[in-house]
Structure 1
Amino acid sequence: MNEQKPVQAYHLPWYRWLLWPLAALYGLGVWLRNRLYDIGLLSAVQFDVPVIAVGNLAMGGTGKTPHVDWLVEMLKVHYEPVILSRGYGRKSKGYVLAQPHTTVDDIGDEPMLLHLHHREVPLAVAEQRVLAIPQLLMDAAEQKAFSDHRFVVVLDDAFQHRSLKPGISILLTTCNQLYVDDRLFPVGYLRDWKTSARRADIIIVTKCPDDLTPAQAQQIQHRLHLLPHQQIFFTGLQYAHPYDFFTGQPVEPDKDTEILLIAGIARPQTLLQALYQQFTHIHPLFFRDHHVYRENDIRRIDEAFQQLPGPRKAILTTEKDAVKLWKFKDDIQQRRWQLLVQPVKIYFLFDQQQACMQYIGQYLSHASAGFFD
């Protein structure tokens, strides 16, 4: 009988522990803020309309955008989702409703990607989401004047937004870096205390390997110490064939194509490992998460591209990066790049998708009794 391989815990590099005094100060501020909400000195607003929040304890890299993308797609079957995000990295201020002419500078890279995937779904960005929800609902009602207005608000990256109390809170954590193994920033990557996970209704362990076994999933569940009301699900990332940056048509490069990988995302190792299953020669050029591309970056990419050996070569980037590269489309055409975009979707392990949607559906069917009547 084969021995079951245990799930390996994540360990921080030793040198990051030198930053523990800063982490202590940061943690004190976060604890004090949470405590003020917990004892009621700071209050949270709860809306009659169903609200689902998706977020994480870590500073990016959990696959939040693909999960919001999936959730919106599922909700569209029976409801009319609206999306509200902070719009990290945008150049605008205040409340901005996505329009056909909206750019990434107006709403940020991740909201822009969601907007392109779901153009019929009202989407807005705002710093003050408590004030933005009524405005977004009014804008959605105006856009969908002939619908039955079965709106569901999807809050993107709102787990730490304590001034608003969602009906369901979904917490994401990566399989190879569970929040229980992490530490507060800047020693680790947590922006909130681990104990804040108790606010979650659903915990999704993301970026799981295809061969994760039920026994390993049980180990992870045991390590997370779930509360009785909490549900846990396991998802992986599915990378389809890339498509052409300009035409959107699927492309299947040869396995031996020299690939220059351009990515400005948090923790790109999962993407890199997946691409090595498709291509033999990959040359990574990584940027910081939410990187804003400039002309000197285009020149740097072009130099790296021209240095690739062989006649068959291409540049591959993520959808999140592609929305930021679009403003350089004329320059890219002149440089004759073969620029490909790598889409990503999530899938549930152990046939859990139906169970997850049933749990969410039960909430929606009982939320704010009479709201949809």
Structure 2
Amino acid sequence: MSQGIVISGLGAMCPRAAGRAALWDLFPREGPAPTSTRGAIPPEVERIPETLFALLPPQPRHMDCFGRILLAATTLAIEDAGLGTAAVDPLQTGIAMGSGYGCLPTNEEYLEGILERGSRYGNPVVFQNTVTNAATGAISVVHNLRGPSATLCSGWAAGLEAIHFGCQQLEEGLAERMVVGSADTLSPRLLEGLSLQGWLSPQGTAHPFSEESEGTRVSEAACTLVLEELTQARKRGARLYAEVVGTGHRGGPPSEQARTLARAVKDAVHAARIEPEQLGAVFSGANGRRDFDGWEYSGLRDALGTHASRVPVTCPKAVFGETFSAAGTLAVLLGALALETGWVPGTPGEARSSSERPLNLVSGVAQRLAPEWVLITALGGEGTALAVVLRGCRS
């Protein structure tokens, strides 16, 4: 990438944490993970409780759950970046939001109301949230974001796709900063569909890359980042978490997911102008589904060669569960914090990689991060794959 793009704000919402600091504390670091909180295995399906919203400023009452958690994560990111008090041009601040399922739960609610009461009695309050870009529009109004705007409802990799889009806007000089994020919420019909496909773990746990893998568990989540042109960020004295130095975005047939991911990773590494051996860690999108993890491993092996079995690999979904489009954005947030703190977060328990897929999995406690580059991957499952390379910010 020819132009410096940095991450200057981080915000996230998941069932057990609100904000970057609470999110980071979910992962084991220097010492053993306390059994009471850090590293504890949650239920098979997790939803964001109302108690977390009580910690945040009041939100528009008309928003659905999808819009509320996305607005909450965005508010946290904007506050973290200091944009609320900075003298920045709203016309130079854009927004790009991604989602795997968007407002699907709201559409279910609206249509079920019609089936129950009749077509003349559709709820207008619910109806206004039945298009996916309703949340993006509402967030733009709340935070006065008047630059480029996009909503990407494009599958599980939509979070990294929003980041890719945001970087394009900055590269082309269409904005000085982009607020990018992603979110997904759960509904009975969605859970039924995932269950019928056999994707959910019968034990309610996720063991990525493990011989114990039986499926994944799922969770609601939202994550938002502030991307900023480096010169502008430094001019206003922003905190610089990490620099986005390469992105890769590829598509292909579902039968070739591993090859598609490999091409995306190669593109991101090439754009970062580094060799695979210079990567200090991989934040993998593996989720415990055997087919999904197989694609992930084969793609990494193809793109990174023998370094794929040496580089520390961490799997955030072992803690979060499968959060769909939010997963990639959450992994970027963790990657930025890893570069800032010098630690690659571990995952609970003792990771035992499959003998067929030998990897250097980070488990139990964190590992020191020496090199200054990390890789984040995301697979869509339907043929899309994205990758992002981050570098630690230099003074």
TM tier, smaller: under 0.3
Query: More relative contact order in 1 or in 2 (CA 8 Å, sep 6+)?
Result: 2
* Structure number with bigger Rg: 1
TM-score (norm 2): 0.25
